[in-house]
Amino acid sequence: MALVELRNLHKTFGSVTAAADVTLDIESGEFITLLGPSGSGKTTVLRMIAGFETPDSGSIHLSGADITQMPPFDRDVNTVFQDYALFPHMTAQENVEYGLRTRKVPKLQRAAQAREAIASVKLAHAADRLPHQLSGGQRQRIALARALVLRPKVLLLDEPLGALDRQLREEMQVELKTIQREAGITFIFVTHDQDEAMRMSDRIVIFNEGRVEQVGTPEQVYERPATRFVAGFLGAANILDGEAARKVLGRPATVSIRPERMRLQPSTYTASGGETAVAATVREAAFVGANTVYVVDTDDGVRLSISRTNTQSPGQDQRFVAGDRVLAVWQQSHLAEIPA
Ligand code: ADP
Ligand code: MG
């Protein structure tokens, strides 16, 4: 039995379908991420699990019990919001103790538990500060401690790192993951940032227009996208279908191939077994630091993006420039067939 079971959840707001037939099993201890563009229904699904929204139809079970109609505060679930929602007039310690106080945990015990939770987010030295005396990242960690101290079975996090600048966000991604693993709490995490989802998650649920497009490990959804939407949403992809598939592959198909799985070779190159080589002309070469990204047009007029990792010393790499005649080369096993 899964810890959280969502069955055919449906939710509309007026004429907008925010969630359509969402079915998902979440295992105990899992770090699962709801990923999708803005407006795809991630927050709505999270709010239904929290109890802040009631589905029009469908059910939610937690540890086997039907909680679909249960009020939020009776659910063994806690939410960390993007804006932290700390009480401004309370110290970090008091903020973390607050939930324990409302649960009538005795004073000494709640002080100790709050100290422990604050230590777990590495802010023991800042426990007596007010929220405005903390940095954005520190406020975020206190908000997390405030949720963790209640030891919920499930922690819901809605874009909790969205307000942080990039460097801090990346540090917090690592810390959140460590805290989750150590606490053994199931995290349901919402983000629209694919890198963040790939870095942190055991599994990713990809949303589009209120529907679940695919559920899988980061590697599964990246390497074996189930739909065109997933192939295009996660990282860069060359998607070949219709005419382009016939020209490049010589057969009708819908396939995706990642830019980093293709190589450029001089037009004198001889392809080996298992390789496909297609004559092309370089249109653009962009140096972007770790990679050089080439845009090429095949002689049949199909545009491909090909990325090359810059592994050699500066100046030592073989670089191509616009106008060069080349071969676009890939292993047939690097093509991912898109079923839908
Ligand atoms: P996401 O979190 O993926 O950005 P949301 O779940 O917030 O998406 O929204 C899904 C859709 O439902 C959007 O079109 C949004 O405008 C709409 N929506 C969400 N909440 C409400 C609401 N309370 N009233 C009206 N429309 C809403
Ligand atoms: Mg949202």
- Ligand 1 centroid to residue 123 C-alpha, Å: 34
Q: Which ligand is nearest to the CA of 15?
A: 1
Q: What pLDDT does residue 314 have?
A: 74
Q: How far is CA 88 from CA 81, 130, 132, 136, 324, in A?
A: 15, 7, 7, 13, 61
> Quick check: 31 and 189 in contact, CB under 8 A?
yes
Closest CA to 96 of 151, 142, 51: 142
Can you give the pLDDT at residue 294? 97
Tell how far the Cα of 232 is from the centroid of ligand 2, in angstroms.
20
54's tokens: 């009631």
Contact assessment for residue 218 and residue 206, using Cβ atoms and an 8 Å cutoff:
no
Alpha carbon nearest to ligand 1 atom 16, residue: 39
Q: What is the pLDDT of residue 51?
A: 96
Q: How far apart are the first and last CA of the chain?
A: 29
* Tokens, residue 173: 């991604």
Please tell me the distance between residue 173's alpha carbon and the centre of ligand 1 in angstroms: 25
**H runs (alpha helix) in the chain:** 42-50, 92-102, 107-120, 136-148, 166-183, 194-200, 218-223, 228-233, 242-249
246: left (phi over 0), alpha (psi -120 to 50) or beta: alpha
User: Ligand 1 within 6 A of 270 CB?
Assistant: no
Q: pLDDT per position in the chain (340 positions), as tens?
A: 899 999 999 999 999 999 999 999 999 999 999 999 999 999 999 999 999 999 999 999 999 999 999 999 899 999 987 766 899 999 999 999 999 999 999 999 999 999 999 998 889 999 999 999 999 888 988 998 999 899 899 999 999 888 788 888 888 898 889 889 988 999 999 999 999 999 999 999 999 999 999 999 999 999 999 999 999 999 889 999 989 999 988 888 999 999 999 999 999 999 998 899 999 999 999 999 899 999 999 999 999 999 999 888 777 767 899 999 999 999 999 999 998 6
